[in-house]
Amino acid sequence: MVCFGFFCARAQTTGDGSTINIVTTAVPFLRVSPDARTGGMGEAGIATLPDANSGFSNLAKIPFAQSRTQISATYTPWLRKITQDVYLASLAGYYKIDDEQAINVGLRYFNLGQIEFTDYNGNSLGSQRPREFGLDFGYTRKLSDRLSLGVALRYINSSLASGAIGGTDYRAGNSVAGDLSLYHSGLDEDGKGFTWGMAITNLGAKIGYTNNAQAKDFIPANIAIGAAYTSLIDEDSKITLAADLNHLLVPAPPVLSSDPADSIPNQQKIDDYRSTGVFESWFKSFDNKSYSLSLGAEFWYNNQFAARAGYYWETKESGNRKYFTLGVGLKYNVFGFNFSYLVPSGGNGTTQNPLSNTLRFSLMFDLDNETNGTLGGQ
- Domains within the chain, CATH numbers bracketed: 12-366 (2.40.160.40)
- What percent of the chain stands above pLDDT 70? 83
Mean pLDDT across 223-232: 97
Task: Report the C-alpha gap between 360 and 36 in whole angstroms.
Answer: 5
Q: What is the pLDDT of residue 260?
A: 65
Mean pLDDT across 295-320: 94
Under DSSP, the state recorded for 60 is G
Q: What is the pLDDT of residue 347?
A: 54
Terminal alpha carbon distance of the chain: 46
pLDDT tens-digit series, residues 45-80? 999 999 999 999 999 999 999 899 999 999 998 876
Mean pLDDT across 236-253: 94
All residues at 6 or more sequence positions from 139 whose CB lies less than 8 Å from its CB, including other chains: 101, 102, 103, 104, 150, 151, 152
Instruction: Give the pLDDT band (50/70/90) at residue 376.
Output: low
Half-sphere exposure at residue 124, Cβ-oriented, CA atoms within 13 angstroms: 5
Q: What is the pLDDT of residue 320?
A: 86
- Give pTM, 2 decimals: 0.87
Q: What is the pLDDT of residue 5?
A: 42
Instruction: Give the pLDDT band (50/70/90) at residue 7.
Output: very low
Does residue 369 carry a pLDDT above 60? Answer: no
Mean pLDDT across 178-185: 98
Task: Report the C-alpha gap between 120 and 300 in whole angstroms.
Answer: 54
Could you tell me which residue, 230 or 215, shows the higher pLDDT? 230
Q: Any idea how long the chain is? A: 378
Hey, how many other C-beta atoms are within 10 angstroms of the C-beta on 312? 24
Mean pLDDT across 330-359: 76
Q: What is the pLDDT of residue 6?
A: 45
Dihedral sign computed on CA atoms, order 171, 112, 157, 281: positive
Q: What is the pLDDT of residue 120?
A: 66
Mean pLDDT across 172-181: 96
Q: What is the pLDDT of residue 262?
A: 66
Could you tell me which residue, 160 or 185, shows the higher pLDDT? 185
Does residue 3 carry a pLDDT above 60? Answer: no
Instruction: Give the pLDDT band (50/70/90) at residue 355.
Output: low
CB 104 within 8 A of CB 93: yes
Q: What average pLDDT does the structure give for the chain?
A: 86
Residue of 69, 67, 25, 6 lying closest to 288 (CA atoms): 25
Point out the least confidently predicted range of 84-88, 155-159, 354-358, 374-378: 374-378
CA 42 to chain centre: 12
Q: What is the pLDDT of residue 39?
A: 94
